[in-house]
Amino acid sequence: MTFDFAFALSVLPTILAAVGTTIWVAIASCLGAALLGFVLEILRRSGRLLGYAMRFVIDFIRSTPVLVQIYFLYFVLPFYGVTLPAYAVGVLALSVYYSGYLAEVFKAGIDTISAGQFEAATALGLKHFDTIIFVIAPQMLRNIAAPMGNYFVSILKATPYLAVIAVPEMLGAAMEVSSDTFRYAEPMLIVGVVFLILAVSIAQLVRQLENKLLASEKR
Amino acid sequence: MTAVEAMSTGVVGGVLEMEPAVEIKKLNKWYGKLHVLKDVDLTVGTGEQIVICGPSGSGKSTLIRCVNQLEEHQQGEIRVNGREVGPGVRAMHEIRRNVGMVFQHFNLFPHLTVLRNCTLALTRAKRLPRGEAEDIARHYLARVKIPEKADAIQASSQAGNASAWPSHALYACIHGSCCSMSRLPLSTPR
Ligand SMILES: Nc1ncnc2c1ncn2[C@@H]1O[C@H](COP(=O)(O)OP(=O)(O)OP(=O)(O)O)[C@@H](O)[C@H]1O
Ligand SMILES: [Mg+2]
């Protein structure tokens, strides 16, 4: 199979039209996964029973394949009367799946904060919620910007899974082109290159964020 | 190991009023088998300033940490501004809001500016408006002669003179009873 440049150019607009969906699904999933992961981790640290329950939930989420979770939410939720649009199921599935991993990252980030920080917040009479938001979360973010960025890239690269439930993201669009024309090299190469560009951009953004957070420490 | 036992209080400065700020009766505290505080009785009046001194490991920090319940005690009674504190007391955070504390290692918030270190508790715990809290903080920062440090990030790299300004900065947010754990530098007379 030879690479047909003219053909590649002709299908480029169709595929690029789906980039928007890929990007916003990825961003929504990153936010969802980070928020849910943080909540799971905070709950895991709370009282005994709830803590154990959350440990189980987090391990469970991490040890089931993401495709299984996607299919499960897509086909099983309607059975219980919850019918969501495909993209909502997609964002929900990626958020849930990666929240398990991000919870572990957050755990590492919180573990490195010295016990004195919790004590200082307690001594000042701050409530638990305020301690988490104003004292713990910012210091945690500074500790884990890099590994969190890695998972954001993973989330981006997991968006093609959503093709299986017909979310109109980039891989889905490319597959459609391919099955119409029986040419795979060009569409797949385009998809690969666009993902590469997006992934590098995320990595760059995260590096800048990290530098900013660390710079504020040194000032 | 000598434990802090039945200390008497003396007025060092300030006025002794009737209402005790801190009242401790027959306080006993163990860390596992280690009996750190033995039958401690202590009354500190409002406005009274006291110094508790003793050899390292005698339990000074432990006693102070019991007052705001960073450590739980096993026996005895502690009252702060008339309210009993102890394990199981609800709304401890309300009592803690009126107890200031400077930690032995300061435990300042490294991600916040000096000003925000001072105002965090005022705005979030005491619910003062931001502007008012900052006025208070700046007032105290000026009193400890470091108003220009207000917007600096509290840097741990300044460990060299760590005792110089951050402790004062934190002191600025102390409005109630104050507990300060510090090792006075013996070489520099103050
Ligand atoms: N969390 C803890 N668990 C077990 N033992 C502890 C704990 N904290 C303190 N101790 C022990 O309790 C005793 C009293 O400690 P504390 O820190 O109150 O002494 P201190 O008078 O403040 O000493 P220093 O002058 O060195 O600050 C020490 O023997 C110490 O080892
Ligand atoms: Mg001490």
- In tens, the pLDDT along B91-127 reads 888 888 888 888 877 788 888 888 888 889 889 988 9
* Least Cα separation, residue A123 to chain B (angstroms): 6
The closest residue, in CA terms, to atom 28 on ligand 1 is B57
What confidence score (pLDDT) does residue B189 get? 35
**For ligand 1, what atom is nearest to the CA of residue B4?**
21
- What is the pLDDT averaged over residues A135-154? 94
> How many angstroms does the Cα of residue A170 sit away from the middle of ligand 2?
61
Element (H, E) at A148: helix A137-158
pLDDT at B178: 47
Residue among A116, A124, A138 minimizing CB distance to B121: A124
Cα of B47 to ligand 1 centre, how many Å? 28
pLDDT value for A4: 87
Which has more confidence, A116 or B3?
A116
Yes or no: say if B125 and A125 are a contact pair by the CB < 8 Å rule: yes
A161 φ, ψ (degrees, to nearest 5): -55, -30
Q: How confident is the model at residue A216 (pLDDT cuts 50, 70, 90)?
A: low
CA distance B143 to B21: 24
d(Cα A194, Cα A188) in Å, to the nearest integer?
10
Question: How distant is the Cα of A50 from the closest Cα of chain B, in angstroms?
Answer: 20
Task: Tally the C-alpha atoms within 13 A of residue B174's C-alpha that lie toward its C-beta.
Answer: 17
Which residues neighbour B90 within 8 Å (Cβ) at sequence distance 6 or greater? none
**Does residue B71 surpass a pLDDT of 60?**
yes
Identify which has the larger pLDDT, B8 or A183: A183
Ligand 1 pocket, mutate which of B30, B36, B106 (most atoms under 8 A from CB): B36
> What is the distance between the alpha carbons of residues A42 and A38, in angstroms, rounded to a whole number?
6
Checking ipTM against 0.85, whether it exceeds it is no
Report, as an integer, the average pLDDT of A49-73: 94
Give the predicted TM-score (pTM) of the model: 0.84
Residues of chain A above pLDDT 70, percent: 98
Q: Could you tell me what percent of chain B has a pLDDT over 90? A: 28
Do the beta carbons of residue A4 and residue A177 sit within 8 Å? no
For chain B, how far is it from start to end, CA to CA, in angstroms? Answer: 30
Q: Is the pLDDT of residue A133 over 60?
A: yes
* Closest partner CB to A126 (pick from B103, B111, B121): B121
Q: Is B168 or A191 the better-scoring residue by pLDDT? A: A191
Out of B38, B52, B61, mutate this one to test ligand 1's pocket (max ligand atoms within 8 Å of CB): namely B61
Q: Is the dihedral of CA B80, B85, B89, B91 positive or negative?
A: positive
- Asked if the model's pLDDT at residue A158 lies above 90, the reply is yes
pLDDT digits (tens, 9 = 90+) for B47-61: 888 888 889 899 999
Lowest mean pLDDT among A119-123, B74-78, B111-115, B144-148: B144-148
Residue ranges covered by each domain of chain A = 20-170
> Dihedral through CA B12, CA B15, CA B19, CA B24, nearest 10?
0
Residue A2 touches chain B, beta carbons under 8 Å: no
Atom 25 in ligand 1: residue holding the nearest Cα? B56
State the virtual CA torsion across B23, B59, B176, B46 in degrees, nearest 10: 40
Residues of chain B neighbouring A135 (CB-CB closer than 8 A): 109, 120
Poorest-pLDDT segment among A23-27, A93-97, B46-50: B46-50
Q: Which of B122, B118, B126 is nearest to B144 (CA)?
A: B118
- pLDDT bucket at A90, cuts 50 / 70 / 90: very high
CATH 2.60.40.10 correct for A20-170: no
List Cα–Cα distances, B34 to A4, B30, B38, B152, in angstroms: 81, 5, 11, 42
Please compute, for residue A144, the number of CA atoms within 13 A of its CA located in the half-sphere on the CB side: 24
Highest mean predicted confidence (pLDDT) among A88-97, A209-218, B127-136, B137-146: A88-97
pLDDT average, residue stretch A69-94: 92
Distance from CA of A175 to the nearest CA of B (A): 48
Structural domains of chain B ordered from first start: 1-96 (3.40.50.300), 97-190 (3.40.50.300)
- Locate B9 and state its tokens: 């209080």
Q: What is residue B165's predicted lDDT score, i.e. its pLDDT?
A: 45
Cβ atoms within 10 Å, residue A72 = 14
For residue B103, what pLDDT is reported? Answer: 81
What pLDDT, on the 0 to 100 scale, is given for residue B174? 45
Q: Is pLDDT of B166 > 70?
A: no
CB of B112 closer than 8 Å to CB of B120? yes
* Mean confidence (pLDDT) of chain A: 92
Q: Which ligand ends up closest to the CA of B184? A: 1
- pLDDT above 70 (res B161): no
- Of A88-102, A147-161, B158-172, the poorest mean pLDDT is in B158-172
Give me the mean pLDDT over the B30-52 stretch.
92
CA distance A56 to A75: 24
Length of chain B: 190
Beta pairing class for B177-180 and B99-102: parallel
Examine the pLDDT at B11 and tell me if it is beyond 70.
no
Average pLDDT for residues A4-16, to the nearest whole number? 91
Provide the shortest C-alpha distance from residue B95 to chain A (in Å).
7
Q: Give the model confidence (pLDDT) of B117-158 as tens digits.
A: 888 988 998 898 999 988 888 887 787 766 777 777 755 434
- CB contact burial A89-107 (16+ within 10 A = b; e otherwise): bbbbbbbbbbbbbbbbbbb
The b/e string for B115-150 (b: 16+ C-beta within 10 A; e otherwise) is bbbbbbbbbbbbebeeeebbebbbebbeebebeebb
Residues 6+ apart with CB under 8 A from A89: A70, A73, A74, A77, A165
Ligand 1 centroid from CA B61, angstroms: 7
CB B31 within 8 A of CB B38: no
* A191/A204 Cα distance (integer angstroms): 20
Contact criterion met (CB below 8 Å) for A151 and A105: yes
pLDDT value at residue B154: 57
Q: Which residues of B touch A123 (CB under 8 A)?
A: 68, 70, 96, 99, 101, 103
End-to-end CA distance of chain A: 57
What is the predicted pLDDT for the residue at A119? 93
Please, which residues 123-162 of chain A have a Cβ atom closer than 8 Å to chain B? 123-127, 130, 134-135, 138-139, 142
